[in-house]
Structure 1
Amino acid sequence: MDAAMTELPTPEELRARLEALAARRGFLLPHHGALAAGAPDLHVAYLAMYEALTVMPRQLSPLERECVWLCLLVAAEEAIGTHHLELFRAAGGTDSIAQSLIALAGAAPACDAFAFAHRHWEGQLPALDPASAWASTVAALRGALAPDLADLALLAVQAARGSRVGIARQIERLYAQKVDEARIVEALSYIIWPKGVNAFVEACDVWHRLMVTGAITPSARFAAWRDMPGLGAFDPASGRVVSGFGGEGNDGSARDRAAD
């Protein structure tokens, strides 16, 4: 065996490890067994990532965090995430708040629809303003949710949907409310778990473009990210890093975003 590789566990060691994990978390999902048995180093790193991403306190309060998660679970159709419903209740989440969050998640495609209608039918619907139409929709559905929390949850939803229109709209709304950027990062980062890191990369690409174009004004700390040269994907044809990641979200949303 390569000296750099970790010894795989014995059946007894594996059983003890999984039993300890189940006792700590109260449940055990099947993939833990596969990772612990066949890739123990990766399993350790995975657990550390999970703790840092979803367990350790960051900027959002426990209730705010679980509000974002509830919206995200609906958008991603992740029925398996029932422990987040328990955490939502434990943090003070009510039926009324849950109803508002579910309604917001369900209404998220309307943001794209307003942009689409404005782009294609401006002559027939000259009074339609996508930003104000979306603002009215959110206001009508958010109930008692604080405006910034509703928009943080919707940012996660739009990123989970892959809507560049929706991501841009939410980031603009959050900056208009002067929401701390670390709170935006936290809400957005939760999509890594149900939707994968590429969805997070795409959302951050939208965010970065908004900073570069001057659509939003970042703090000094985030301006350092904005000004970092060489951000982008690798282009195998040219062998160079290129700006951006393809540009279009679902239903041509990049085109619609540019139009409004």
Structure 2
Amino acid sequence: MSFSHVTGPTVLANGRPIDGKKSLLFDANLYLSTQGEAAVAALRYFNEENRSFDAPAVYEIRASVSKMPEKGIQLSNGEKLEDTEYDVIGDITWLHPVNAEDAKQRPYVDAIGTAENINREDSTFDVTAPQWTQLLRRQEPLPIRAVIPDRARYKVQGDKMKKPIPNPNATVHISGFMTRVLPREGDVEERADRFYVAVDDVTFLGRGSSNNQLPEAATQVRTQKGKRKCVWNYDANKPSGDTGTTDHGPEENPPPTKKPKQDESNVASSSHGTRNSARK
């Protein structure tokens, strides 16, 4: 058993029909850090109630997600989604609009997968959580670098900590806020390698039968020189100046649009590098 879900305020923009008039694809920005870093997602929503969607706006959503595959995905309407443009792909299971005075709210992640690459000294471990999505019509993983922060509830004596660090190959359910994207090391396009989650809770579900050691996640700085589709200026709390299109309801059929990437940075752990700012 495995899954990966995110919940929280998300900016949705550029809604366009795919696979019929009721299935809409959005460019989505999920805020990650105090310096405006965002994960960029391609999210499908089945618009059963024929909602109208205005130009970039904040919605509370829950979505099943996985990392965008390396080769991207070709849609039936002819649009090609690339991993240079999107970090994440997935399906929105529910949403509602919110009047957010400040859109700087991180997405909350729930995931089940096998723990790998345990580092007890840093209180980190990797979880790769395969998730089936309608857009891909198959399972793809959401690779997570989980970190358990120092918290008072883990103190046992003085400053000593006893944290719920899993053993290798343990099946775990983790939940916590996504705080940044780790890019592939040496990749000039800075495509996503792994997603950093500050863990609030760990539940131990059993032990896996394999021993798949994964490579260490990249820790390089993400400079944002690529072409990710940032549609929201988190510092100004309004649509990005580069966003010149309006979202469409199910009765319209605009051509797919490509948006440049915006601003991103920073991290939840001082032991790792950061992913910084402005893609043009």
RCO comparison, higher one (Cα < 8 Å, 6+) = 2
| TM-score class, shorter | under 0.3
Scaled by the length of structure 1, what TM-score is found? 0.23
Q: Which has the higher helix share?
A: 1
